[in-house]
Amino acid sequence: MSKVNNKHNIADPVTTEVVRGWMESVTEEMQATVVKTAHSLLICEARDATCALFDRDGRTAAQASAMPIHLGTLAELGRRFAAKYPAGVAQPGDLYIANDPYAGGTHMPDIAICAPVFSNDELVGYVSSMAHHRDIGGLLPASVSVNARDLHAEGLRIPIIRIARAGQIDHGVMQVILACSRTPRSFRGDLDAQIAACNTGATRFAELFERWPVETIYAAFTNLTDYAERMTRAEIEKIPDGEYYFEDKLDDNALSADSEPIVIAVTMTVRGDELIFDFTGTDKQVESSINNVLTSTAAVVYFGVRTLTGDHVPNNDGCYRPITVTAPAGTIVNCSYPAPVASRGLSLMRIEDVVIGVMGKALPERMTAANCGQYTMVSVAGPHPDTGEHMIGQLGGPVVGGHGARATKDGIDVSSHGCTNGSILSMEISEARYPMKFNKLELWTDSGGVGRWRGGLGYFSEVEWLRGNSSITFRRERMRFQPWGMQGGGPAPLCKTEYVRQDGVVEELPGKIEFPLKSGEQLRYWTTGSGGYGSALQRDPDHVLNDVLDGRVSNEAAYDNYGVVLDGNEINRVATTELRTKMETSV
């Protein structure tokens, strides 16, 4: 490919946009490589992976549109990779690996692999892939037990190290890594998928520098990061200056359902075109593994602010410059070593709720009511009764409920959303791999918070275990504290879990539990929806009727909550007006 002759090495707007498109296409090709070649369902189906490009200083140049929660994480890891393996240390064909939460990572199942990129023997940048691995050792299969009491009970911990030189894998290091996993073959397959993505990214990124001089590419990168910063600051300037406070609670400490709730609090300070998120007031870290390192907390904040700027702004380092995130050390949002973090997702969802909530105080017309605020993660482990092969994975179907109602629209039913945004693992794949079946999976009527704009619905699922025995782990929230509404909208209902034994006895379960499941036994779980927006008495009666006809809202809720009187499939408009007037007067 011939190099463009640019006498002054200046990136004009057209060149800058072409460079942007090139870099973004590289990250998307890397992402496709990981997803298409990985072995485990968490990556190839649920798509729990992200890829990014960095400049030679480790600043984020571009990132794939995948897991938003990895935005801030890879931004931090990029700097750390570049600091340890800068020009003169990094060599062509190198690969680096890391997963240490206390050195730029998130939790240890998230492993990052990084490769340096060279053009004419000059270090010009790095590419990286991060993915969630299904088992890296530790206390229990899947490596995300809430019962781990310190980081060292959670499995493999990797500092930033070199895993390949001159394109050759260090097999000694790889053997040590694989020896920690209960599923080494799948683990190696997923690592190889990440390595393939990095090799692809390094090749494609280097081709960019064959097209333009290094100085031109870096001028374009400066233009893009400055543009992202300007656009972010412009949106921040629209927020009224001042301090805004919000708090929400986790059900418990994940060790006992009867423990005190955990408060997560944040104060957002707006000063012109800058934002400060201060998590002072948040409760201390806990003994269980639901803690988060500050890198994870910051990533949620970056996601929240990023929702203001839209997809026309590139994902790069400039997006984060106007934002400061602080939190007292030793809290659940900035835990201190060696606090366990494997099940960080439970509190991560609540961090998202308080970030969206505090932004909603300042910008109610642009933020949503609370999303469902939890995962319904149902992990399975044990020998397959037919093959004897060790089963480790997640039951399929959705893991989150509704997306919060908005100022002009209803929430979205049963959707992957927010800072995680993973894909749903299909029920059919789970039924093919495990001796189980879904007897039911349906929308949960009345699970969306009431409002002028209704919250997105959650769902009900019934699962039956058909053969053999298994160990089941539930990690759930919103069993005590409902997803909140906004601007007068109502909350969504609480989650619920039931266990049906072989003798037919039904037992209600807490949100976090590990227990054996036998042939013929069933699990039933109700996953909440999301909060509503605005007064329910202002909802268009025709929308209420449609919801009733669709099974989203019951006749009773239409009358009691929305003040809509139905005669069969028709609205009694005179009676509805009278009822709503009476309800408004009694408020």
Summarised one tens digit per residue, pLDDT across range 421-454 is 777 788 898 899 999 999 999 999 999 999 999 9
User: Helices 294-309 and 345-362 sit at what angle, rounded to 10 degrees?
Assistant: 40
User: Tokens 């990132």 map to which residue?
Assistant: 63
pLDDT, residue 218, reads: 96
Are 375 and 499 found together in one domain? yes
pLDDT band, residue 9 (cuts 50/70/90): low
- 453-465, pLDDT tens digit by residue? 999 999 999 999 9
Total number of domains constituting the chain: 3
**Residue range 205-230, pLDDT digits in tens:** 999 999 999 999 999 999 999 999 99
pLDDT at 396: 85
Residues 465 and 567 in one domain: no
394 lies in the same domain as 492: yes
- Does 115 map to a domain? yes
Tell if the pTM clears 0.75, that is, is over it. yes
What is residue 144's DSSP assignment? Answer: -
pLDDT at 311: 84
Question: Does residue 121 share a domain with residue 33?
Answer: yes
My answer on whether 529 and 567 are in the same domain is no
What's the rounded Cα separation, in Å, for the pair 305 and 406? 17
pLDDT of residue 2 exceeding 70, the answer is: no
Listed range (288-292, 396-400, 448-452, 493-497) with the worst mean pLDDT: 396-400
Specify whether the CB–CB gap between 468 and 441 falls below 8 A: no
For residues 501, 134, 144 and 31, what is the CA-based torsion angle, rounded to 10 degrees? -120
CA-based nearest residue to 369, from 266, 485, 491: 485
Average pLDDT rounded to a whole number, residues 224-243: 97
Q: What's residue 239's pLDDT? A: 97
* pLDDT at site 3: 54
Is the pLDDT at 391 greater than 80? The verdict is yes
pLDDT tens-digit series, residues 108-122: 999 999 999 999 999
Residue of 355, 356, 354, 394 lying closest to 375 (CA atoms): 394
Residues 430 and 407 in one domain: yes
Residue 148's pLDDT is 92
Asked whether residue 391 falls in the same domain as residue 458, the answer is yes
pLDDT (mean) for 554-571:
97
| Average pLDDT, integer, range 2-9 | 49
- Residue 181 clears pLDDT 80, i.e. is over it: yes
Percentage of residues in the chain having pLDDT higher than 90: 87
Q: Shortest CA distance to 543 belongs to which of 424, 452, 421?
A: 452
Q: What's the pLDDT at 586?
A: 86
409-426 tens-digit pLDDT: 999 999 887 877 777 788
- Cis bond upstream, residue 86 (ω within 30): no
Between the alpha carbon of residue 398 and those of residues 132, 355, 407, 524, 574, the distances in Å are: 18, 24, 25, 14, 41
Burial class (CB in 10 A: 0-12, 13-18, 19+), 568: exposed
The answer to whether position 339 is within a domain reads: no
Closest among 57, 58, 66, 69 to 24, alpha carbons compared: 66
Kindly tell me the burial class for residue 520, based on how many C-beta atoms sit within 10 Å of its own C-beta (0-12, 13-18, 19 or more). Answer: middle
Look at residue 476 and tell me if it is in a domain.
yes
- Residues 507, 582, single domain; the answer is no
Residue 127 lies in a domain: yes
CA distance 568 to 587: 28
Please say if the pLDDT value at position 46 is more than 90. no
Dihedral sign computed on CA atoms, order 312, 318, 323, 328: positive
- pLDDT band, very low/low/confident/very high, at 390 (cuts 50, 70, 90): confident
Query: Does 5 have pLDDT greater than 70?
Result: no
In a domain, 314, yes or no: no
pLDDT of residue 10: 84
Clarify whether residues 473 and 570 are in a common domain.
no
What is the average pLDDT value for the chain, to the nearest integer?
94
Residues 580 and 464 in one domain: no
- Structure-token match 């606090």, residue found: 339
Report whether pLDDT(149) > 80. Answer: yes
Residue 294 domain flag: no
Does 346 reside within a domain? no
Q: Which whole number is the average pLDDT over 477-487?
A: 98
Domain-embedded: residue 183 = yes
Q: What is the mean pLDDT of residues 148-154?
A: 95
Alpha-carbon distance of 253 to 509, in angstroms, equals 16
Q: Is 50 exceeded by the pLDDT of residue 4?
A: no
Do 572 and 525 have their domain in common? no
pLDDT category of residue 64 using cuts at 50, 70 and 90:
confident
- Per the structure, the complete domain to which residue 207 belongs is given by 13-228
Residue 160 has pLDDT above 50, yes or no: yes
Length of the chain: 587
The rounded distance, in Å, linking the Cα atoms of 547 and 554 is: 8
Clarify whether residues 412 and 490 are in a common domain.
yes
Under a CB-based contact definition with an 8 Å cutoff, are residues 476 and 377 in contact? Answer: yes
